[in-house]
Structure 1
Amino acid sequence: MPADLPAVTLSYALHGPADAPVVVLLHGMGAASDRSSWDRVVPLLAGDHRLVVPDLRGHGASPRPGSYALAEMADDVARLLDRLGVAGATVVGHSMGGVVAVVLAQARPDLVSALVVEDSSPPPPAGSPPVDVTPPYRPEGPVAYDVEVRPGVLRALAEPDAAWARRAGEVTVPTLVVGGGPTSFVDQRRLARLAAAFPAGTMVTIDVGHDVHPNRPEEFVALLRTWWAGEG
Structure 2
Amino acid sequence: MIFTFSKDFMSIFPKRILLKLSGETLIGNQGFGIQQQACLQITKSIQQIQQLGIQLGIVIGGGNIFRGINLKANGMPRVPADHMGMLATLLNGIALQQALISLEVKTCVMSALDCPKVAESYQWSKALQYLEEGVVVIFVGGTGNPYFTTDTAAALRASEIQANLLLKATKVDGIYNQDPLKNTQAVKYDRISYSQVLAEKLQVMDATAIALCRNHQIPIFVFNMKRLFENRLDHVLTDYSHGTLVDDGEIGHEANKLDR
> Normalising by the residue count of structure 1, what TM-score does the alignment of the two structures yield?
0.37
Larger radius of gyration: 2
Structure with the bigger RCO (C-alpha within 8 Å, sep 6+) is: 2
Quick check: which one's strand share is greater? 2
